[in-house]
Amino acid sequence: MKRRKFVNIMCSSYIIYNFLPINFAYSNNSKNIINTSLSDSQKNIMFNEGTEKPFSSPLNYEKRKGFYHCANCDAKLFKSDNKYDSGTGWPSFTEALPGAFKTKIDYSFGMKRTEYHCAKCGAHHGHVFNDGPGKNGKRYCNNGLCLIFKPSD
Ligand SMILES: [Zn+2]
């Protein structure tokens, strides 16, 4: 009886020290994973502020009419009418749908840039710059892996 109790205590400690920290890490708001089939590359961009290789996304060449949704939570983020070829190698847009994103100043790599996150799930999508060709002068530089394109017809 005494031995079993000891084993139980040891097992509980093992569980607390080895598994709980991971659960806590994934349950906080900064890692709000809704789509459980996201790949490691998608998770790295969306929750660790990563960036995909330029010219790697097939969405660079997407020309159909439709909407671009968040790959994590499915929120509608961009309209195809606002997509353009910026030559940077990342899907680029002159404007986002109203309320789609929240922005934050990012000082990494010695640069001051404005990064944006999905307003619904908090996932990182890209950076917005003031050199866009549209009337508001914005260029949303979005990682293709964070987007799901849904054609309208
Ligand atoms: Zn989202």
131 CA from centroid of ligand 1 (Å)? 25
119 CA from centroid of ligand 1 (Å)? 7
Domain locations in the chain as residue ranges: 35-151
Q: Where are the beta strands (DSSP E) in 13-120?
A: 66-70, 76-79, 83-84, 92-93, 101-106, 113-118
70 CA from centroid of ligand 1 (Å)? 5
Is 73 among the catalytic positions?
Answer: no
Q: Which of 70, 118, 141, 146 is labelled catalytic?
A: 141
The CATH classification of domain 35-151, taken from the options 2.170.150.20, 3.40.50.720, 3.90.550.10, 3.10.180.10: 2.170.150.20
Q: Across the 153 residues of the chain, what is the mean pLDDT of every consecutive 10-residue run?
A: 54 45 42 95 96 98 98 98 98 98 94 96 97 96 98 90
Predicted TM-score (pTM) of the model is 0.79
Q: What's the CA gap between 77 and 21, in Å, rounded?
A: 33
- The pLDDT value recorded for residue 84 is 98
